Amino acid sequence: MTLRNFTKVIAGVFALAAISFAAPSQAAQPAIDFTGFNHQNIGSNFNIGWEFTVGASAITVSQLGYFDFNQDGLATTHDVAIWTTGGSQVISATVASGTGGSLNGKFRYTTIANTVLTANTTYIISGTSGTVDEFALGSTSGFPVTLTGLTVDPGISLVQSALDNGSNPGLAFANATSSANTLFAGANMIYAAGGGGGGGGGGGVPEPGTVGLLIASGFSSMGLVFRNRKIRK
């Protein structure tokens, strides 16, 4: 093998490795957002939220959050959970009081283990109401009034609001749904499309074994070239 061919082989191997490392990953986004809202304090012991259906592709949830009315910190902690429509808890977390949670839009979030929600499946996300903090109200008709500038990430579709009966002091399944109301925006989530890890829906850094094989193949080619050159001498 000539030096020119050797250079081409090595360049090809490391170009392939570079492409693998550069594989893009989709940024995680909040499920819902809005510009204007009416708000209400429902009182303690309630679990409030909304029902949604995942679209044709799975999503990976990386953060759970709760509505921060003035974006200046939460008065109390809020437990937030995602449930199946049958009442089985998929994942839960506690959003810290004050400014302990990270602020994104009008919600404060806490990071969770990456949790994949299945495509074409309906879930409920809800959070404990606390004693002081308020939540935003959204509706297609009647009470409460419609949120303005409501945007929903295209990976999901809203179904209806969800609420429990107020008899549970802690985290509980919000099984009282109402099609008259789009959502009770207490809880929210951040997710990325796809069922991969890293909150980015797959892609990103290749497996270590893959990288090792690429690099090993490059050094094997180098060894072969140098051995052939030595024999020719």
- The predicted-structure confidence for 150-162, as pLDDT tens digits, reads as follows 889 999 999 988 8
Residue 184 neighbours by CB under 8 Å, 6+ apart: 48, 49, 50, 135, 136, 137, 138, 161, 162, 163
Nearest residue to 76 (alpha-carbon basis) of 40, 127, 3: 127
Can you tell me the distance from the alpha carbon of 78 to that of 108, in angstroms, rounded to the nearest whole number? 10
pLDDT band at 210 (very low <50, low <70, confident <90, very high): very low
Q: CATH says 30-201 is which class?
A: mainly beta
| More confident call, 169 vs 51 | 51
Contact predicate 63/189, CB 8 Å: yes
Q: What is the mean pLDDT of residues 124-149?
A: 65
Element (DSSP H or E) covering residue 7:
helix 3-21
pLDDT at 178: 73
pLDDT at 135: 59
What residues does 48 pair with on adjacent strands? 127, 163
- Which of 35-39, 103-107, 171-175, 203-207 has the weakest average pLDDT? 203-207
Tokens at residue 83, please? Answer: 């449930």
Domain range annotation of the chain:
30-201
Q: Write down the pTM of the prediction.
A: 0.70
pLDDT band at 118 (very low <50, low <70, confident <90, very high): very high
Can you tell me the distance from the alpha carbon of 43 to that of 124, in angstroms, rounded to the nearest whole number? 21
Can you tell me the distance from the alpha carbon of 27 to that of 201, in angstroms, rounded to the nearest whole number? 8
The edge-to-edge listing of strands for the beta sheet with 38-40 is 38-40, 135-138, 183-185
Tokens at residue 50, please? Answer: 């909304």
Q: Mean pLDDT of all residues in the chain? A: 74
pLDDT at 140: 43
